[in-house]
Structure 1
Amino acid sequence: MSSVSSAASGQDAVAAAVSPERQRLGSLLIRGATLLLGLLILVEVLYAFGLISIGFPNWQPILFAYIAWSAALCWGLVLRDGEMGWRALFVLPAILFTLALVIFPTFFGFFIAFSDWNLQSATGRQFNGLDNLRQLWGDPYFWNALGNMVFYVATVIVQYAIAFGLALLLNADIKAQKFFRVAFLLPFMLSPVAVSWMIGKSMLEYRFGPVTNLLRWLGWENPSLLTSPWLAKTTIAMMDAWVWIPFMMIMILAGLQAISKDVQEAARVDGATGWQGFWQITFPLMLPVSMTTIVLRIIFQLKLADIVINTTSGGPGGATDTISSFIFREYKDRSNVGYGTMIAEVYLIVIIIFLALLLWATSRFMQRHA
């Protein structure tokens, strides 16, 4: 209680050290700069929607105004709060940076999403209301890509099982343990783009690829791994798993090494078999690490694009398409900025809802098994 009161008295002393004139000047600077920035943004929004005839040709002046507002905000906090204002400057730049590069682009994306904007058109950007959303709702390619994402996310469970087995192997006392740890981590060190070209475009090439030639030698007459819809989708999932299983393995291995060996020794003394020790002791103790690993892997999986783009471009017939690769084609091949942005914003909302439900279910599951 005394520490709380002393901290409060310290803050009061710091505030009292600032003169009333400086406090008023600081408050006036913050309010004035904020009001000016808000007015400029309002004018630019109204001009962009064609409601007024006065405005800027692009958003570049708003960027300069935001930088000036950030400087005025920092200066105003120092004038108004004194020492507490200087302390705020340690975290304020990070907040302003996040606001500029994360929050503003997200909301600006919504502005573009409700526009008919094709870079190949001479008319430029035109506001079209809910037309992009209606087109998205009736687009079979979008729903096909979303269904493929369900398949790719479901494969995370298989990846987790394999990663857990490898982590158990590397956690045991085996020969050449350090070598195997480095060897298993090698795929994670490679870029997914390099993997897609090295495996998808070289080893799995239909005519001259070593894997397809081996399959022909074993008796498969037409080893078309990337032209059959289900085989292509499975092949993409396997390449993606080869890259990301080491990431899951290293996280699980860190959790296994944090478990005290005394617990496992006590289980053996009590007569528990290897399977009983794993299922009743090791696996429950690893649940927090396992849930964290699975959630992080799902987040990365939801952004799957590079392997698909470089290997199959979403084919055959959209069988391997993901939402990210679909958005990429809308931007690159069709130059459809408005519709592509609408897909991205809708997918962002779907991801937020899905991850919120996933984290809620994970929390309930952990509480039930605590």
Structure 2
Amino acid sequence: MSDTGDLLHVVTNDDISPGRQAFGKAIVWASLALLAATALVQTLDRTGALPIGLSNWRPTLYAYVLFSICLCWSQVLIRGEQGKRVLFVLPAALFVISLVVFPLIFGMMIAFSNWNLSSPDGRQFNGLDNVRQMWSDPFYWNALGNMVWYLLAIIVEYAIAFGLALLLNAQIRARKFFRVAFLLPLMLSPVAVSWMVGKSMLEVRFGPIANLARFLGWEDPSFFSSPELARATIMVLDAWTYIPFMMIMILAGLQAIPKDVQEAARVDGASAWRGFWEVTFPLMLPVSITAILIRIIFKLKLADIIINLTSGGPGGATDSVTSFIYREYRDRSNVGYGTLLAMVYLVLIIIFMTILMKLADRWMRPKY
């Protein structure tokens, strides 16, 4: 008996006529042209160049739904059985695109508009005015400068997390208890941390930490009085919340290192420090870089502790970009300018993280 293979999973080429293929391509291009024309007309209507009086963006949404249906249908018409396989992925991809691309386009339109919720005029296109305002806004650039300090603090956080992971990986008493105890800050919301620690324990008059500082000789233990001290306090609170996250990742990496490698280093006469620096740390480099990159992503979103504790003060000294954009929305109701700041910050994050990931890939690449 000859071996013909599993014919159930073999897709043969369908006999598709040229007319059917031409029809499939025609409905795709026609629906795409309709979508582009509808979006263009609505854009001109919104900018006032072609006032038609459309109240919302539903026509563009309906045109996109029609384009999606035609695109899926055309895959079957043009590719036959193989096109049916594409339908397992294509609808989901089109849905994701609608959730990403359309809000991004709408956000870009808002970013180049003057839209203050307290103004009766509504949203008005203002070209590059928001860009000029951002370029001359010292508070926004100050928030970007603060982000540099907040990101640099990750180096200290990583060192502390690595030390705690080494401690919890060693054979010490009550090791399981300390693992749970060190993870407790991670279980708390940053908002809860800001109120429980920042508003209560650091309170100048009755806070226990402030009273302890006063007992030790600090006459006026105000943790948010000066810009440098307030920024450092924010760093400490944020670090206390997220160091356990880095610690647990590093601890998992340490436990995955084969014991034979460390024992071989000790047999060869390596000291504890040399064994760590030349064996443990290089093996932990992929885990360390992953933990640092994830921590950077969390740090770039830092806002809740700042908003609850200082609202960016004193004088914007503790503002992160996210908290500054939030206050631009909440305090000034300036939707257009706030959206532009968010868009610029998103572009900066994409560039920054792309460079970091390329550097991380180069560092983790084996050297031969």
Is it true that 1:56 corresponds to 2:61 in the alignment? no
2-structure distance, mates of 1:300, 1:365:
22
Compute the displacement of 1:22 (Å): 5.3
Structure 1 pair 23–186 and aligned structure 2 pair: CA distance change class (3 A)? farther
Is the Cα–Cα contact under 8 Å of residues 315 and 321 in structure 1 kept in the other structure? Answer: yes
Q: What value does the CA root-mean-square deviation take over the aligned residues?
A: 2.3
What is the aligned counterpart of 1:231 among 221, 229, 232?
Answer: 229
Cα deviation for residue 249 of structure 1 reads 1.2
SS where residue 55 of structure 2 aligns?
A: coil
Aligned length: 362
- Alignment partners' CA distance in 2, 1:55 and 1:89: 37
Q: Which residue of 1 aligns with 2:288?
A: 290
Give the superposition deviation at 1:49. 1.7
Question: Which of residues 197, 200, 203 in structure 2 aligns to 1:202?
Answer: 200
Q: C-alpha distance in 2, partners of 1:351/1:250?
A: 26
CA distance, structure 2, for counterparts of residue 199 and residue 292 of structure 1: 29
Q: Map of 1:10-49 to 2, 5 A cutoff?
A: 13=12, 15-16=13-14, 23-49=21-47
Q: Deviations over 1:229-260 (max 9, x none)?
A: 11111111111111111111121122212211
Give the drift of 1:313.
0.6
> 1:120-174, CA deviations, whole angstroms, 9 ceiling, x for partnerless residues?
1111111111111111111110111010000000001111111111111222222
- Superimposed CA distance per residue, residues 292-335 of structure 1 (whole angstroms, 9 cap, x where no aligned partner): 21112112111111111111110111010010011001111111
Q: Which residue of 2 aligns with 1:92?
A: 90
What is the match of residue 3 of structure 1? Answer: none
Residue 321 (structure 2) aligns with? 323
Per-residue deviation, residues 252-291 of structure 1 (Å, max 9, x unmatched): 1222122111100100111111111100001011111111
Change in CA separation of 1:253 and 1:71 when aligned onto 2, cut-off 3 Å: farther
Long gaps (5+) in structure 2: 1-5
For 2:260, the equivalent position in structure 1 comes to 262
The equivalent of 2:165 in structure 1 is 167
Contact map agreement 2:44 2:50 (CA 8 A) in 1 = yes
> How far did residue 69 of structure 1 move?
3.2
Extract structure 1 runs of 4+ deviating beyond 4 A: 17-25
Q: CA deviation at 1:64?
A: 3.7
Partner residue, 1:277: 275
On the 8 A contact 1:43/1:55 being kept in 2, the answer is: no
**Which one of the candidate residues 118, 128, 134 is aligned to 2:126?**
128
Question: Which of the residues 100, 103, 113 maps onto 2:101?
Answer: 103
Aligned equivalents of 2:188, 2:84: Cα separation in 1: 43
Judge conservation of contact 2:14–2:80 (CA < 8 Å) in 1: no
Query: For 1:107 and 1:147, how far apart are their aligned partners in 2?
Result: 29
Alpha carbons 1:44, 1:55 under 8 Å: kept: no
Q: Distance in 2 between matches of 1:251 and 1:87?
A: 39
Q: C-alpha distance in 2, partners of 1:20/1:177?
A: 72
Q: Normalised by the size of structure 2, how large is the TM-score?
A: 0.91
Structure 1 unaligned regions, length at least 5: 1-5
Distance 1:98 1:350, change over 3 A: same
Counterparts of 1:174 and 1:294 in 2: how far apart (Å)?
A: 27
Preserved contact between residue 164 and residue 252 of structure 1 (Cα < 8 Å) = yes
Instruction: Report the Cα offset of residue 55 of structure 1.
Output: 5.4
Residue 222 of structure 1 aligns with which residue? 220
Q: Give the TM-score of the pair, scaled to structure 1.
A: 0.91
Conserved 8 A contact 2:14-2:81: no
Task: Indicate the residue corresponding to 1:145 in structure 2.
Answer: 143
Tell me the SS of whatever aligns to 2:56. Answer: coil
Partner of 2:187: 189
What is the letter of the counterpart of residue 271 of structure 1? Answer: G
1:359 is displaced (CA, Å) by: 2.1
Aligned in 2, Cα 1:18/1:257: closer, same or farther, shift over 3 Å? Answer: farther
Moved more, 165-174 or 155-164: 165-174
Q: Does 1:364 align with 2:334?
A: no
